Amino acid sequence: MKQETINICPSWRGIANTCIMILEVGNEEAKQVAKEEIRRMGAILDGEFKQGALDEEKDSHQPAQDSA
């Protein structure tokens, strides 16, 4: 029997929308977590742009991989 892997990782847009919702209606602890997630996402994207690895063809929520 062949094993299948299903990717259940949410999209960047989905995570951003969730963070926005939490910032609008969440308690203080949830808001802090949402702010940290937005900062983490920004750091990942900054790294992607600096490496020149952001490519519409690749899955944008996966970290860049070395092709060495």
Asked if 54 contacts 60 with a C-beta cutoff of 8 angstroms, the reply is yes
Region of residue 19 (left: phi > 0; alpha: psi -120 to 50; beta: else): alpha
Intervals of the chain under pLDDT 50 = 56-57, 64-68
* Alpha carbons 45 and 10: distance in angstroms, whole number: 16
Name the pTM for this structure: 0.62
